Amino acid sequence: MKRVPHVALLIETSRSYGRGLLRGVRQYVTQHGPWSVFIELRSLDSKPPPWLRRWKGDGILTRSGSQEMANAVIQAGVPAVELRATRLRHPFPFVGVDNHALGRKVAEHLLERGFRHFGVYDLDTEDYFKQRRDNFIQTICEAGYEVSHHGAQGRTERPAQWERQQDDLARWLTRLPKPVGLMACTDQMGFWLLDACSRAGVTVPEEAAIVGVENDETLCNMALPPLSSVPFNAERIGYEAAALLDRMMAGKAPPTKPIFIEPLEIVTRQSSDIVAIEDEEIATAVRFIRQHGCEGITVRDILKAVPISRSSLERRMRMILGRSPKAEIARIQINRVKTLLAESDLSMSEIAERAGFTYPQYMCGLFRRKFGKTPGDYRRQARTR
């Protein structure tokens, strides 16, 4: 009989991301197992389990929160995959979030809402925080705008002086030009930003729209107002990490480069659910398009919701957004198509219907002209990543 691999999952259960990773591992084991799995309730800074020093298992999936943890996994002497981007010293292959794409995604989210002033609130304790920040700033600068930057006091998510930190953050927010679009490099920092806005009398999202990172639903929904955030695609990452470990336990060489998985689409909650356009009629038109763009609407439908002339609508939208009403509808539809291709197994006909296209052929042609690839090619590449 085939021997069942013995695998240790040294992944924290205290955060939503760790729990999502474990769900992805479970999916892989269900499909390709069985494995004999060790798991326990853990936090990121939990000590290595005592038995690990003498363990005779086959593989480890780890989120190393300390050098002590990384050293313990090294000493176990079995194939291991690291799931936390870190500056710690270890030889393991890495599977995790594409933080470059994450920063760009937040920037595009705020740009699409019409913001022209931007800020970022970050830590520099880890390289992945810098990647999120730098790619957010790069995307905003490429669009022709500047970004104000503010670092967390004490460079930690556990501030020693809570009141002092929040007062300092409130002063920064007060100085920013309004309305402003803000990226917080974690949901925890987004929660702090919202509290500081309340202290400073800055209304959210009218004066400051805020987007966090990780989509920890407890934090996001505890916030007032609820916090928009970028999900990490944790289940996909967990699945790919388990698949990689399985190959390594079978004797195959580990990859020489990290494996990055692109984050999912931003979960928009009240903290960024606004169109930051001073022209009220155009703001109403854009809001209407975003609410109904995948329902097969036309420019004529927009004009029923916003009683202005077609020529005025065309001219003012091009001036403010840089694109026509028809192009804005198509952008909303194509974004919906991308999401459905990456996250579902729906047929092209079903995707076309859900995105508001009458003909699947027209949808496929438009998609290919915009991205230089067919929807099928995009789906295969998204699944491969």
Task: Measure the CA–CA gap between 360 and 93, rounded to whole angstroms.
Answer: 41
pLDDT of residue 155: 56
| Whether the predicted pLDDT of 160 surpasses 80 | no
Average pLDDT for 187-191: 94
Tens-digit pLDDT profile for residues 45-68: 899 999 998 898 999 999 998 899
> What is the residue-wise DSSP string for 4-47?
PPEEEEE--SSSHHHHHHHHHHHHHHHHH---EEE-----TTPP
pTM of the model as a whole: 0.76
| Whether the predicted pLDDT of 286 surpasses 60 | yes
| 8 Å CB contact between 102 and 135 | yes
Tens-digit pLDDT profile for residues 365-376: 999 998 899 999
pLDDT of residue 69: 92
First to last CA, the chain: 34
Answer yes or no: CATH 3.40.718.10 is held by domain 280-384: no
In three-state secondary structure terms, 209 is strand
Answer yes or no: CATH 3.30.360.10 is held by domain 6-97+234-261: no
Domain ranges across the chain: 6-97+234-261, 99-232+266-272, 280-384
| Whether the predicted pLDDT of 309 surpasses 70 | yes
| 8 Å CB contact between 237 and 95 | yes
**Residue 11 pLDDT class (50, 70, 90 cuts):** very high
Average pLDDT for 291-311: 93
6-97+234-261 with 280-384: one CATH topology?
Answer: no
| Whether the predicted pLDDT of 28 surpasses 80 | yes
Q: Which CATH number fits domain 99-232+266-272: 3.30.565.10, 3.30.70.980, 3.40.30.10, 3.40.50.2300?
A: 3.40.50.2300
